Amino acid sequence: TGMFTYDPGFTSTASCDSALTFIDGEEGVLLHRGYPIGQLAEHSSFMEVSHLLLNGELPTREELDDFTYTITRHTMLHDQLRGFYQGFRRDAHPMAIMCGVVGALSAFYHDSTDISDPEHRKISSHRLIAKMPTIAAMAFKYSSGQPFLYPDNTLSYTGNFLRMTFGVPAEDYVVHPVIERALDRIFILHADHEQNASTSTVRLAGSSGANPFACIAAGIACLWGPAHGGANEAALNMLHEIGHPDRIPEYLARAKDKDDPFRLMGFGHRVYKNYDPRATVMQKTVREVFEALQVSDPVFDVALQLEEMALNDDYFIEKKLFPNVDFYSGVILSAIGFPTTMFTALFALARTVGWVAQWNEMISDPAQRIGRPRQLYTGPTKRDYVPVSER
Ligand code: CMC
Protein backbone atom coordinates (compact mmCIF):
# COMPACT_ATOMS: atom_id res chain seq x y z
CA THR A 1 0.00 0.00 0.00
CA GLY A 2 1.16 3.55 -0.44
CA MET A 3 0.23 4.53 3.10
CA PHE A 4 3.72 4.49 4.57
CA THR A 5 7.07 5.87 3.56
CA TYR A 6 9.45 3.01 2.83
CA ASP A 7 12.83 3.90 4.33
CA PRO A 8 14.96 0.84 5.10
CA GLY A 9 17.88 1.77 7.34
CA PHE A 10 16.11 5.08 8.16
CA THR A 11 18.28 7.12 5.82
CA SER A 12 15.74 9.94 5.61
CA THR A 13 13.53 9.59 8.67
CA ALA A 14 13.95 11.87 11.70
CA SER A 15 12.76 9.84 14.67
CA CYS A 16 12.82 12.65 17.24
CA ASP A 17 13.64 16.24 18.11
CA SER A 18 16.96 16.55 19.87
CA ALA A 19 19.01 19.42 21.27
CA LEU A 20 22.05 17.33 22.11
CA THR A 21 24.27 16.70 19.13
CA PHE A 22 24.54 18.23 15.67
CA ILE A 23 26.28 16.61 12.72
CA ASP A 24 26.89 18.17 9.31
CA GLY A 25 28.02 15.12 7.37
CA GLU A 26 28.92 17.02 4.20
CA GLU A 27 31.25 19.36 6.05
CA GLY A 28 32.50 16.87 8.63
CA VAL A 29 31.20 18.89 11.60
CA LEU A 30 30.20 17.47 15.00
CA LEU A 31 28.88 19.73 17.78
CA HIS A 32 27.72 18.77 21.27
CA ARG A 33 25.23 21.35 22.54
CA GLY A 34 26.89 23.69 20.03
CA TYR A 35 30.51 23.06 21.00
CA PRO A 36 32.81 21.64 18.27
CA ILE A 37 34.14 18.18 19.11
CA GLY A 38 37.73 19.28 18.38
CA GLN A 39 37.55 22.00 21.06
CA LEU A 40 35.99 19.64 23.59
CA ALA A 41 38.59 16.95 22.90
CA GLU A 42 41.42 19.46 23.20
CA HIS A 43 40.37 21.46 26.24
CA SER A 44 37.63 19.65 28.13
CA SER A 45 37.35 16.48 30.20
CA PHE A 46 35.01 13.55 29.97
CA MET A 47 33.27 14.62 33.19
CA GLU A 48 32.69 18.11 31.77
CA VAL A 49 31.35 16.74 28.51
CA SER A 50 29.09 14.36 30.44
CA HIS A 51 27.68 17.29 32.39
CA LEU A 52 27.26 19.22 29.15
CA LEU A 53 25.35 16.41 27.46
CA LEU A 54 23.15 15.65 30.46
CA ASN A 55 22.42 19.20 31.59
CA GLY A 56 22.83 21.34 28.49
CA GLU A 57 25.69 23.56 29.69
CA LEU A 58 29.35 23.26 30.54
CA PRO A 59 29.58 23.20 34.34
CA THR A 60 30.92 25.97 36.55
CA ARG A 61 33.82 24.92 38.79
CA GLU A 62 31.40 24.18 41.62
CA GLU A 63 28.98 22.27 39.38
CA LEU A 64 31.84 20.21 38.00
CA ASP A 65 33.08 19.32 41.48
CA ASP A 66 29.55 18.38 42.55
CA PHE A 67 28.94 16.31 39.45
CA THR A 68 32.29 14.52 39.74
CA TYR A 69 31.63 13.83 43.42
CA THR A 70 28.19 12.41 42.63
CA ILE A 71 29.52 10.12 39.92
CA THR A 72 32.35 9.02 42.22
CA ARG A 73 29.86 8.02 44.92
CA HIS A 74 28.21 5.51 42.58
CA THR A 75 31.27 3.71 41.20
CA MET A 76 30.90 0.55 43.31
CA LEU A 77 28.91 -2.41 42.06
CA HIS A 78 26.57 -4.34 44.30
CA ASP A 79 28.81 -7.03 45.75
CA GLN A 80 26.44 -9.77 44.64
CA LEU A 81 27.37 -8.96 41.06
CA ARG A 82 30.86 -10.33 41.66
CA GLY A 83 29.22 -13.74 41.72
CA PHE A 84 27.36 -12.96 38.51
CA TYR A 85 30.68 -12.73 36.62
CA GLN A 86 31.55 -16.28 37.64
CA GLY A 87 28.69 -17.53 35.49
CA PHE A 88 30.53 -16.48 32.33
CA ARG A 89 33.19 -18.52 30.60
CA ARG A 90 36.64 -17.03 31.07
CA ASP A 91 36.90 -16.47 27.33
CA ALA A 92 33.52 -14.70 27.11
CA HIS A 93 33.68 -11.57 24.96
CA PRO A 94 33.62 -8.48 27.23
CA MET A 95 30.62 -7.18 25.28
CA ALA A 96 28.67 -10.34 26.19
CA ILE A 97 29.54 -9.72 29.83
CA MET A 98 28.62 -6.02 29.56
CA CYS A 99 25.19 -6.84 28.07
CA GLY A 100 24.55 -9.34 30.84
CA VAL A 101 25.80 -7.34 33.80
CA VAL A 102 24.19 -4.05 32.78
CA GLY A 103 20.93 -5.88 32.09
CA ALA A 104 21.21 -7.53 35.51
CA LEU A 105 21.52 -4.11 37.17
CA SER A 106 17.85 -3.61 36.30
CA ALA A 107 17.07 -6.24 38.92
CA PHE A 108 19.08 -4.32 41.54
CA TYR A 109 17.43 -1.00 40.78
CA HIS A 110 13.98 -2.17 39.85
CA ASP A 111 11.51 -0.70 42.28
CA SER A 112 13.35 2.58 42.72
CA THR A 113 13.22 3.29 39.03
CA ASP A 114 10.07 5.31 38.56
CA ILE A 115 11.03 6.83 35.22
CA SER A 116 8.32 9.50 35.37
CA ASP A 117 10.22 11.08 38.28
CA PRO A 118 13.13 13.24 37.02
CA GLU A 119 15.06 12.63 40.25
CA HIS A 120 14.88 8.88 39.74
CA ARG A 121 15.98 9.29 36.14
CA LYS A 122 18.91 11.37 37.29
CA ILE A 123 20.08 8.79 39.82
CA SER A 124 19.78 5.98 37.27
CA SER A 125 21.81 8.06 34.80
CA HIS A 126 24.51 8.77 37.37
CA ARG A 127 24.64 5.14 38.42
CA LEU A 128 25.08 3.98 34.85
CA ILE A 129 27.85 6.47 34.03
CA ALA A 130 29.62 5.69 37.32
CA LYS A 131 29.42 1.91 37.16
CA MET A 132 30.39 1.33 33.53
CA PRO A 133 34.15 1.65 34.18
CA THR A 134 33.85 -0.79 37.09
CA ILE A 135 31.84 -3.25 34.98
CA ALA A 136 34.22 -3.04 32.01
CA ALA A 137 37.34 -3.35 34.17
CA MET A 138 35.87 -6.38 35.95
CA ALA A 139 35.13 -8.01 32.58
CA PHE A 140 38.81 -7.58 31.72
CA LYS A 141 40.02 -8.85 35.09
CA TYR A 142 37.76 -11.87 34.85
CA SER A 143 39.15 -12.81 31.43
CA SER A 144 42.74 -12.49 32.62
CA GLY A 145 42.21 -14.37 35.89
CA GLN A 146 43.35 -11.45 38.03
CA PRO A 147 41.41 -10.35 41.11
CA PHE A 148 38.79 -7.63 40.78
CA LEU A 149 39.88 -4.25 42.10
CA TYR A 150 37.45 -1.99 43.91
CA PRO A 151 37.21 1.58 42.64
CA ASP A 152 39.60 4.15 44.12
CA ASN A 153 37.61 7.34 44.35
CA THR A 154 40.63 9.54 44.97
CA LEU A 155 41.43 9.10 41.27
CA SER A 156 39.77 10.73 38.28
CA TYR A 157 37.03 8.91 36.39
CA THR A 158 39.51 7.75 33.77
CA GLY A 159 42.43 7.23 36.17
CA ASN A 160 40.24 5.03 38.34
CA PHE A 161 39.27 2.97 35.29
CA LEU A 162 42.92 2.53 34.29
CA ARG A 163 43.81 1.37 37.78
CA MET A 164 40.90 -1.06 38.02
CA THR A 165 41.96 -2.48 34.64
CA PHE A 166 45.73 -2.62 34.91
CA GLY A 167 46.41 -2.46 38.64
CA VAL A 168 46.92 -5.44 40.96
CA PRO A 169 46.39 -5.51 44.73
CA ALA A 170 50.03 -6.35 45.41
CA GLU A 171 51.39 -3.17 43.87
CA ASP A 172 50.64 0.54 43.76
CA TYR A 173 49.38 1.60 40.38
CA VAL A 174 50.64 4.95 39.13
CA VAL A 175 48.38 6.54 36.54
CA HIS A 176 50.42 7.84 33.61
CA PRO A 177 49.13 11.37 32.93
CA VAL A 178 49.54 11.14 29.15
CA ILE A 179 47.68 7.82 29.01
CA GLU A 180 44.99 9.17 31.31
CA ARG A 181 44.56 12.24 29.11
CA ALA A 182 44.53 10.18 25.90
CA LEU A 183 41.92 7.76 27.21
CA ASP A 184 39.81 10.58 28.60
CA ARG A 185 39.93 12.17 25.15
CA ILE A 186 38.88 8.89 23.53
CA PHE A 187 35.92 8.83 25.91
CA ILE A 188 35.02 12.40 24.88
CA LEU A 189 35.21 11.42 21.20
CA HIS A 190 32.76 8.57 21.80
CA ALA A 191 30.37 10.31 24.19
CA ASP A 192 27.47 10.90 21.81
CA HIS A 193 26.67 10.82 18.10
CA GLU A 194 22.99 11.70 17.62
CA GLN A 195 20.60 9.00 16.38
CA ASN A 196 23.06 6.18 15.53
CA ALA A 197 21.87 2.57 15.69
CA SER A 198 22.60 1.93 19.38
CA THR A 199 21.17 5.28 20.52
CA SER A 200 18.04 4.66 18.46
CA THR A 201 17.86 1.23 20.07
CA VAL A 202 18.02 2.78 23.55
CA ARG A 203 15.33 5.28 22.62
CA LEU A 204 13.10 2.60 21.10
CA ALA A 205 13.51 0.31 24.11
CA GLY A 206 12.93 3.25 26.46
CA SER A 207 9.85 4.43 24.56
CA SER A 208 7.83 1.59 26.08
CA GLY A 209 8.73 2.78 29.59
CA ALA A 210 11.21 -0.04 30.20
CA ASN A 211 13.76 -0.02 33.01
CA PRO A 212 16.72 2.21 32.02
CA PHE A 213 19.37 -0.39 32.86
CA ALA A 214 17.64 -2.84 30.54
CA CYS A 215 17.46 -0.14 27.84
CA ILE A 216 21.20 0.51 28.06
CA ALA A 217 21.84 -3.24 27.85
CA ALA A 218 19.89 -3.15 24.56
CA GLY A 219 22.13 -0.31 23.36
CA ILE A 220 25.23 -2.34 24.23
CA ALA A 221 23.89 -5.27 22.20
CA CYS A 222 23.39 -3.06 19.16
CA LEU A 223 26.78 -1.38 19.53
CA TRP A 224 28.54 -4.73 19.47
CA GLY A 225 28.11 -5.34 15.73
CA PRO A 226 31.07 -4.77 13.38
CA ALA A 227 29.14 -2.19 11.31
CA HIS A 228 28.86 -0.05 14.48
CA GLY A 229 31.01 -0.07 17.65
CA GLY A 230 32.55 -3.43 16.84
CA ALA A 231 34.41 -1.73 13.99
CA ASN A 232 37.25 -0.58 16.28
CA GLU A 233 38.12 -4.17 17.11
CA ALA A 234 37.63 -5.25 13.49
CA ALA A 235 39.76 -2.34 12.22
CA LEU A 236 42.79 -3.21 14.33
CA ASN A 237 42.45 -6.90 13.49
CA MET A 238 42.36 -5.89 9.82
CA LEU A 239 45.49 -3.72 10.15
CA HIS A 240 47.31 -6.65 11.76
CA GLU A 241 46.13 -8.96 9.04
CA ILE A 242 47.41 -6.57 6.35
CA GLY A 243 50.61 -6.43 8.39
CA HIS A 244 52.80 -4.64 5.85
CA PRO A 245 52.23 -1.64 3.57
CA ASP A 246 53.09 -3.84 0.56
CA ARG A 247 49.88 -5.74 1.04
CA ILE A 248 47.60 -2.67 1.10
CA PRO A 249 46.75 -2.77 -2.65
CA GLU A 250 45.50 -6.33 -2.27
CA TYR A 251 43.12 -5.29 0.52
CA LEU A 252 41.99 -2.17 -1.33
CA ALA A 253 41.15 -4.35 -4.33
CA ARG A 254 39.15 -6.68 -2.09
CA ALA A 255 37.25 -3.76 -0.54
CA LYS A 256 36.27 -2.58 -4.02
CA ASP A 257 35.26 -6.03 -5.27
CA LYS A 258 31.47 -6.35 -5.05
CA ASP A 259 31.73 -10.15 -4.95
CA ASP A 260 33.92 -9.99 -1.86
CA PRO A 261 32.09 -9.14 1.39
CA PHE A 262 35.29 -7.57 2.79
CA ARG A 263 35.07 -3.88 3.68
CA LEU A 264 37.73 -1.53 4.94
CA MET A 265 36.91 -1.44 8.62
CA GLY A 266 37.03 2.01 10.19
CA PHE A 267 36.12 3.50 6.82
CA GLY A 268 32.86 5.02 5.64
CA HIS A 269 29.92 6.42 7.54
CA ARG A 270 26.20 6.82 7.04
CA VAL A 271 26.27 10.53 7.80
CA TYR A 272 29.84 11.75 7.21
CA LYS A 273 30.63 12.23 3.54
CA ASN A 274 33.83 13.96 4.58
CA TYR A 275 36.62 13.30 7.06
CA ASP A 276 35.16 12.26 10.44
CA PRO A 277 36.31 15.07 12.78
CA ARG A 278 36.86 12.48 15.50
CA ALA A 279 39.36 10.61 13.32
CA THR A 280 41.45 13.78 13.00
CA VAL A 281 41.81 14.06 16.78
CA MET A 282 42.38 10.33 17.07
CA GLN A 283 45.28 10.36 14.60
CA LYS A 284 46.93 13.22 16.47
CA THR A 285 46.48 11.39 19.77
CA VAL A 286 48.26 8.31 18.42
CA ARG A 287 51.37 10.43 17.86
CA GLU A 288 51.15 11.96 21.33
CA VAL A 289 50.84 8.58 23.03
CA PHE A 290 53.68 7.04 21.02
CA GLU A 291 55.91 9.97 21.84
CA ALA A 292 55.12 9.93 25.55
CA LEU A 293 55.55 6.18 25.87
CA GLN A 294 58.47 6.15 23.45
CA VAL A 295 56.93 3.31 21.52
CA SER A 296 55.88 2.80 17.94
CA ASP A 297 53.75 0.23 16.21
CA PRO A 298 54.11 -0.91 12.59
CA VAL A 299 50.30 -1.08 12.30
CA PHE A 300 50.19 2.71 12.59
CA ASP A 301 52.29 2.99 9.42
CA VAL A 302 49.99 0.52 7.73
CA ALA A 303 47.01 2.64 8.84
CA LEU A 304 48.53 5.91 7.62
CA GLN A 305 49.45 4.48 4.25
CA LEU A 306 46.14 2.72 3.88
CA GLU A 307 44.36 6.00 4.54
CA GLU A 308 46.49 7.86 2.02
CA MET A 309 46.00 5.26 -0.69
CA ALA A 310 42.26 5.00 -0.10
CA LEU A 311 41.81 8.78 -0.16
CA ASN A 312 43.51 8.85 -3.58
CA ASP A 313 41.53 5.95 -4.98
CA ASP A 314 38.59 6.68 -7.32
CA TYR A 315 36.30 4.16 -5.62
CA PHE A 316 36.70 5.77 -2.20
CA ILE A 317 36.57 9.29 -3.63
CA GLU A 318 33.40 8.59 -5.58
CA LYS A 319 31.62 6.94 -2.64
CA LYS A 320 32.96 9.57 -0.22
CA LEU A 321 34.49 7.03 2.13
CA PHE A 322 36.79 8.50 4.77
CA PRO A 323 38.35 7.18 7.98
CA ASN A 324 35.86 7.22 10.86
CA VAL A 325 36.31 7.31 14.65
CA ASP A 326 37.14 3.60 14.73
CA PHE A 327 40.07 3.71 12.33
CA TYR A 328 42.80 4.99 14.68
CA SER A 329 41.33 4.37 18.14
CA GLY A 330 42.53 0.76 18.26
CA VAL A 331 46.13 1.76 17.61
CA ILE A 332 46.05 3.95 20.74
CA LEU A 333 44.14 1.47 22.86
CA SER A 334 46.55 -1.33 22.09
CA ALA A 335 49.55 0.93 22.85
CA ILE A 336 47.95 1.56 26.26
CA GLY A 337 47.68 -2.20 26.76
CA PHE A 338 44.04 -3.06 26.05
CA PRO A 339 43.42 -6.29 24.15
CA THR A 340 41.30 -5.84 21.00
CA THR A 341 38.32 -7.57 22.62
CA MET A 342 38.07 -4.68 25.11
CA PHE A 343 37.84 -1.94 22.46
CA THR A 344 34.10 -2.05 21.95
CA ALA A 345 33.54 -2.29 25.72
CA LEU A 346 35.40 1.04 26.03
CA PHE A 347 33.16 2.50 23.33
CA ALA A 348 30.11 1.31 25.33
CA LEU A 349 31.51 2.81 28.52
CA ALA A 350 31.86 6.24 26.91
CA ARG A 351 28.65 6.12 24.84
CA THR A 352 26.64 5.41 27.99
CA VAL A 353 26.63 9.16 28.63
CA GLY A 354 25.04 9.83 25.26
CA TRP A 355 22.58 6.98 25.71
CA VAL A 356 21.33 8.20 29.08
CA ALA A 357 21.24 11.84 27.94
CA GLN A 358 19.18 10.86 24.88
CA TRP A 359 16.94 8.61 26.97
CA ASN A 360 16.29 11.45 29.45
CA GLU A 361 15.58 13.86 26.63
CA MET A 362 13.08 11.43 25.15
CA ILE A 363 11.24 10.68 28.40
CA SER A 364 10.91 14.39 29.21
CA ASP A 365 9.67 15.27 25.71
CA PRO A 366 5.88 15.92 25.79
CA ALA A 367 5.66 14.52 22.23
CA GLN A 368 7.09 11.20 23.39
CA ARG A 369 5.12 8.12 22.27
CA ILE A 370 6.05 4.51 21.97
CA GLY A 371 8.26 3.94 18.90
CA ARG A 372 6.32 1.79 16.50
CA PRO A 373 7.48 1.71 12.85
CA ARG A 374 5.11 0.35 10.21
CA GLN A 375 5.96 -2.02 7.35
CA LEU A 376 5.17 -2.80 3.75
CA TYR A 377 3.61 -6.26 3.91
CA THR A 378 4.91 -8.68 1.25
CA GLY A 379 3.47 -12.03 2.46
CA PRO A 380 0.53 -14.07 1.11
CA THR A 381 -2.98 -12.61 0.99
CA LYS A 382 -5.69 -14.19 3.16
CA ARG A 383 -6.07 -17.97 2.75
CA ASP A 384 -7.89 -20.75 4.60
CA TYR A 385 -6.39 -23.24 7.01
CA VAL A 386 -5.85 -26.74 5.58
CA PRO A 387 -5.63 -29.73 8.00
CA VAL A 388 -2.23 -31.40 8.08
CA SER A 389 -3.63 -34.62 6.53
CA GLU A 390 -4.66 -32.68 3.42
CA ARG A 391 -1.39 -30.76 2.87
N1 CMC B 1 34.74 -0.43 2.43
C2 CMC B 1 34.39 -0.62 1.15
N3 CMC B 1 33.23 -0.17 0.62
C4 CMC B 1 32.40 0.49 1.42
C5 CMC B 1 32.70 0.72 2.78
C6 CMC B 1 33.93 0.23 3.27
N7 CMC B 1 34.25 0.40 4.55
N8 CMC B 1 31.68 1.39 3.35
C9 CMC B 1 30.76 1.58 2.40
N10 CMC B 1 31.19 1.05 1.22
C11 CMC B 1 30.48 1.10 -0.06
C12 CMC B 1 29.35 0.09 -0.07
O13 CMC B 1 29.76 -1.14 -0.62
C14 CMC B 1 28.33 0.80 -0.92
O15 CMC B 1 28.69 0.62 -2.26
P16 CMC B 1 27.53 0.51 -3.40
O17 CMC B 1 26.78 1.79 -3.34
O18 CMC B 1 28.29 0.31 -4.65
O19 CMC B 1 26.70 -0.68 -3.00
C20 CMC B 1 28.52 2.28 -0.59
O21 CMC B 1 29.88 2.38 -0.15
C22 CMC B 1 27.58 2.77 0.51
O23 CMC B 1 27.68 1.88 1.62
P24 CMC B 1 26.44 1.44 2.49
O25 CMC B 1 26.77 0.17 3.19
O26 CMC B 1 25.18 1.49 1.67
O27 CMC B 1 26.41 2.65 3.52
P28 CMC B 1 25.72 2.67 4.93
O29 CMC B 1 25.50 4.11 5.24
O30 CMC B 1 24.54 1.77 4.97
O31 CMC B 1 26.83 2.05 5.90
C32 CMC B 1 28.74 1.84 7.30
C33 CMC B 1 27.69 2.80 6.68
C34 CMC B 1 29.52 2.62 8.35
C35 CMC B 1 27.99 0.70 7.99
C36 CMC B 1 29.68 1.32 6.20
O37 CMC B 1 30.42 2.39 5.65
C38 CMC B 1 30.64 0.23 6.72
O39 CMC B 1 30.26 -0.95 6.75
N40 CMC B 1 31.89 0.60 7.14
C41 CMC B 1 32.81 -0.33 7.75
C42 CMC B 1 32.43 -0.54 9.21
C43 CMC B 1 32.76 0.67 10.07
O44 CMC B 1 33.84 1.23 10.01
N45 CMC B 1 31.80 1.05 10.93
C46 CMC B 1 31.98 2.16 11.89
C47 CMC B 1 31.05 3.28 11.63
S48 CMC B 1 31.51 4.79 12.49
C49 CMC B 1 31.29 4.67 14.19
C50 CMC B 1 30.53 3.55 14.71
O51 CMC B 1 29.30 3.46 14.51
O52 CMC B 1 31.14 2.73 15.38
Residue ranges and CATH numbers for the domains of the chain are 21-227+342-363 (1.10.580.10), 231-336 (1.10.230.10)
Does ligand 1 have an atom closer than 6 angstroms to the CB of 228? yes
Active site residue ranges: 269, 326
Q: What is the DSSP letter of 23?
A: E
Which amino acid residue places its CA nearest to atom 24 of ligand 1?
A: 270
Q: Indicate if ligand 1 lies below 6 Å from the C-beta of 268.
A: yes
Residue to mutate (ligand 1; options 276, 281, 321, 327; most atoms within 8 A of CB): 321
Ligand 1 mean position to 87 CA, how many Å?
Answer: 36
- CA of residue 217 to ligand 1 center, whole Å: 25
Q: From the CA of 106, how far away is ligand 1's center (Å)?
A: 34
Q: Out of 12, 189, 324, give the residue to mutate to test ligand 1, the one with the largest number of ligand atoms within 8 Å of its CB.
A: 324
Alpha helices in 208-342 (DSSP H): 212-223, 231-242, 248-256, 277-293, 298-311, 314-318, 326-336
pTM comes to 0.96
E-state strands within the chain: 21-24, 29-32, 35-36
Does any ligand 1 atom lie closer than 6 A to the CB of residue 344? no
Map residue 255 onto helix, strand or coil.
Answer: helix
Residue 231, ligand 1, Cβ within 6 A: yes
How do the pLDDT tens digits run along the chain, 391 residues long? 568 899 999 999 999 999 999 999 999 999 999 999 999 999 999 999 999 999 999 999 999 999 999 999 999 999 999 999 999 999 999 999 999 999 999 999 976 678 999 999 999 999 999 999 999 999 999 999 999 999 999 999 999 999 999 999 999 999 999 999 999 999 999 999 999 999 999 999 999 999 999 999 999 999 999 999 999 999 999 999 999 999 999 999 999 999 999 999 999 999 999 999 999 999 999 999 999 999 999 999 999 999 999 999 999 999 999 999 999 999 999 999 999 999 999 999 999 999 999 999 999 999 999 999 999 999 999 999 999 999 9
In our burial notation (b when 16+ CB lie closer than 10 A, e otherwise), range 142-159 reads bbeeeebbebebebbbbb
Order across the sheet with 35-36: list the strands: 21-24, 29-32, 35-36
How many angstroms is it from 391 CA to the middle of ligand 1?
45
Give the C-alpha separation, 159 to 369, whole Å. Answer: 40
